[in-house]
Structure 1
């Protein structure tokens, strides 16, 4: 090995690195025993990436190692094909934001590989019903608008099977940290996705709905403004409202749960995204 340099570009612990050897240059991510959940997710990504259709804008996998090293514990390492990529600009500029949204739209144009789970099994579509039944104490940290809306939101979410099902590929975890940008000159950019640890099949617009609250947290315009600039093709407005309702409920409920091992700040980010999703939901419901 000649040297390496971090380049960001992953939601999970285990920063992407550009690894330079005497004979080649690779992009890798390595996760040690301090983050066992992340190790499992990286192993899941290694398996998922190998099955993605060729047209899906992802970093192709080149090699994968999952070994227990003497005295060092388990290490999981995924090597990607070297590509001219970078993290999105921070704050977002219009070109990178457009590339990110178009990435989410493009993923949904691909048919999911056989054997992937249903997105409805990956997203907590019953979150509002759970909240209505338990009324968790942390709910008071969110907008008072919710106080008399929980049952209505649970009713809307009950149509998730009709609104959010489909054969399209769903990434399921698109964030700034899982998006990498390629510059093509003249301000033209395109995007690639990493963090393929929970792909599924569902409606073609799901990744856009799941992504936009996180983009808002990062300083992007409100979701409705983004969708005006980057319209979703052939989407039933009621189906979109149902998906936003489900996403907001899942974020609210997940953000009140204990932190996941190895991801100490994940719940705080989810709470911010939950606030953004609730504001979007209020907009769609005219509240």
Structure 2
């Protein structure tokens, strides 16, 4: 493994503000520095996602704003189980400020817009293969008991939301690149002075092809949970280019439905708090949807 990483490891230091699961570290080796994320056998889903990221980034266009990857290790170590390690080029980066400030928020939204301006490689799946556009129809048929915990507003709206979501193919399809998992944890910031910042994306484990604005729709509920202004306020400050309002409403509807349904499923291995996070983001998406539909 030391050959892959560029030589014997001399030292390391955690990058402050990054998540405990797969914390980013600055690794000093005999040949230089790398930014490293390492995950052991306690988080198999995260390991699989990192392996998927290693495969997908090699196919993405050069102009995509992502942290350049230098090496990748996926090995079963004697007595230690499987370890997956991603090594990125050493860049002057940091996590977004917590809470978000206006400069970092602008950089995050611009990142989502910039990703969507790139044409996706043709072999990527369609976004609608990865996001359940039939979630509201499923919820309407199941009427799961946990649904009442979200908002009473849903009680007589589910069939209407399923009807809106039925136009997902028309509203959300396209040839543009979609990251699909943008959140605070997948965004890294570079400072340029005078409060100017730019952002890079990591966690490319589910890139796809779709409409150019989809990453913005998927990101804004996450930002809202983190204390950012409501999505409509953010979009007023950072307008989306040439997006049909009805298509946008359809995408918000699909996103909210998928989050609601997923958040009621059993926990995923190695992500004990993942469903709770999804529920928070689902609440934010529902709040946005209610605004777009006029309350």
TM-score (norm 1): 0.98
- Partner Cα separation in structure 1 for residue 252 and residue 16 of structure 2: 29
Aligned to 2:96: 88
Corresponding residue number in structure 2 for 1:5:
13
Indicate yes or no: 2:187 matched with 1:179. yes
Equivalent residues in 2 for 1:38-77, closer than 5 Å: 38-77=46-85
Find the counterpart in structure 1 of residue 5 from structure 2.
none
* Matched ranges for 1:110-259 at <5 A: 110-259=118-267
- Separation in structure 2 between the aligned mates of residue 118 and residue 107 of structure 1, nearest angstrom: 15
Alignment-derived partner of residue 33 in structure 2: 25
* Partner secondary structure for residue 263 of structure 1: coil
2:4 aligns with none
1:104 paired residue number: 112
Superposed displacement of residue 9, structure 1: 7.2
Deviation at 1:73, TM superposition (A): 1.1
Report the CA distance between 1:21 and its aligned residue: 2.2
Aligned to 2:23: 15
TM normalised by structure 2 equals 0.95
Distance 2:167 2:15 in 1: 41
Residue among 62, 72, 86 paired with 1:78: 86
Distance in 2, matches of 1:156 and 1:131, equals: 14
Q: Residue 29 of structure 1: CA displacement?
A: 0.9
Residues 193-238 of structure 1, C-alpha deviations (whole Å, 9 max, x = no match): 0000000000000000000001000000000000000000000000
Once the two structures are superposed, residues 31-90 of structure 1 have per-residue CA deviations (whole angstroms, 9 ceiling, x without a partner) of 111111111110000011111111100011111111111111111111111111000000
Please list every run of at least 4 consecutive aligned residues from structure 1 whose deviation after the TM superposition is greater than 6 angstroms.
Answer: 9-12
Runs of 5+ unmatched residues, structure 1 = none
Q: Secondary structure at the match of 1:198?
A: coil
Residue pair 1:12, 1:38 contacting (<8 A) in 2 also: no
- Count of aligned positions: 287
Distance 1:9 1:61 in 2: 21
